[in-house]
Amino acid sequence: MLKSLKIREVDRFPGQVTCLAHVANANKIVKQKLTERQLEMFKRTVFGRFLDIELVFNNPLIHHMLLWEVKNSGMDSISFFVRGKVVTFSKDDFLLITGLWRSLTRVGRSEESSHELFTKYFGSRLASDTFHLHLLEEEYKELVFENDDDAVKITLVYYTEVAMMSKNKQKNVVDRTLFDDVEDIDYYNSLDWGTIIWQRTPDSLKIALKDKVGLYKEKMRGNKNYVVKYSLRGFPQAFQVWTYKILSLIAGNVATRKSNVAIPRILRWSCSHSVSFKTLERDIF
């Protein structure tokens, strides 16, 4: 089985992973920004449940898992050889962990959407081709909302872009269409977000270490302490929680199980710190 690994054991290298789904920071900003009533309203939206996530992104754990990816994973899944068996992270796993199942009720989009929300709060300040995510975040912190509904809708766009879509804050511009979609909040909540976000997740995991072995060997010639750095799109927090599930030794060592019944399942775990790669190698893998 070891021969089917994408990266041979002798070719493994140290890595530092950055998660572009900025959930923890977005949660902090939203909780500081919204009133108690607005927070309760936001929690009833499609992403409101994620305000209760208590996870530090454990980049050594993610990197360790990726080093054990097997070749020829499925088109819509990714597999690993862990503790003597092949395990597969699939879309169903992702949906169970996030709870982002597609709504059984299809909601048609209102025809009244026409950039009104964007224009009201941002139109006079920033052109769409320069409205990068870091500017959205800066502007969001300073906004004065006219009413609670606007507060929730603007927050939902901010949270989608910064916490859920895993974009580069400095390089990616805000998707203006989200402001139109969110004007009809029932329509926005009914969109197939599970599929939208899932599609970004395995694709990012599968290409994360592409060509990194050669890069590491080249850089090591001039710097023995070189560490490969890369980032992940999608929603790798779901992958992290899935890893907790499949590694029976994880509870108490890397993460804490808070509940056996919380929905979605991502809320069943908490993690306040990252465990070192060497500790994972010794105690878990």
Instruction: Write out the two tokens for 82.
Output: 């862990």
Q: What is d(CA 218, CA 226) in angstroms, rounded to the nearest whole number?
A: 10
pLDDT at 173 over 80: yes
Kindly state the average pLDDT of the residues 166-188. Answer: 91
Mean pLDDT of 218-236: 94
The pLDDT of residue 110 is above 70:
no
Span 40-66, pLDDT tens digits: 999 999 999 999 999 999 999 999 999
The pLDDT value given to residue 76: 87
**Cα Rg, the chain, nearest whole Å:** 20
Q: Using 50, 70 and 90 to split pLDDT, how confident is the model at 251?
A: low
Residue 230 pLDDT grade (very low, low, confident, very high; cuts 50, 70, 90):
very high
Q: Residue 106 pLDDT > 80, yes or no?
A: no
Q: Could you give the 3-state DSSP secondary structure of residue 208?
A: coil
- What is residue 208's predicted lDDT score, i.e. its pLDDT? 95
| pLDDT of amino acid 246 | 86
pLDDT level of residue 161 (50, 70, 90 thresholds) = very high
Tokens for 142, please give them: 């300073």
Residue owning tokens 């992958």: 239
Hey, what are 121's tokens? 């709060």
Mean pLDDT score of the chain, rounded to an integer? 90
Q: Where are the alpha helices (DSSP H) in 44-132?
A: 59-66, 91-98, 116-118
pLDDT, position 282: 75
CA distance 277 to 248: 18
Domain boundary assignment for the chain: 2-283
Element (H, E) at 54: strand 54-55
- Residue located via tokens 């449940």: 49
Phi/psi at 117 (5° precision): -65, -45
Look at the chain and count its residues. Answer: 285
pLDDT for position 1:
47
Mean pLDDT of 159-178: 91
Question: Contact 176/115 with Cβ under 8 angstroms?
Answer: yes
The answer to whether residues 53 and 262 touch, using CB atoms and an 8 Å cutoff, is no
Select the more confidently predicted residue: 104 or 81: 81
Give percent of the chain with pLDDT exceeding 70.
92
What pTM did the predictor assign?
0.91
Residues of the chain with pLDDT > 90, as a percent, come to 70
Helix or strand run (H / E) with residue 232? strand 228-232
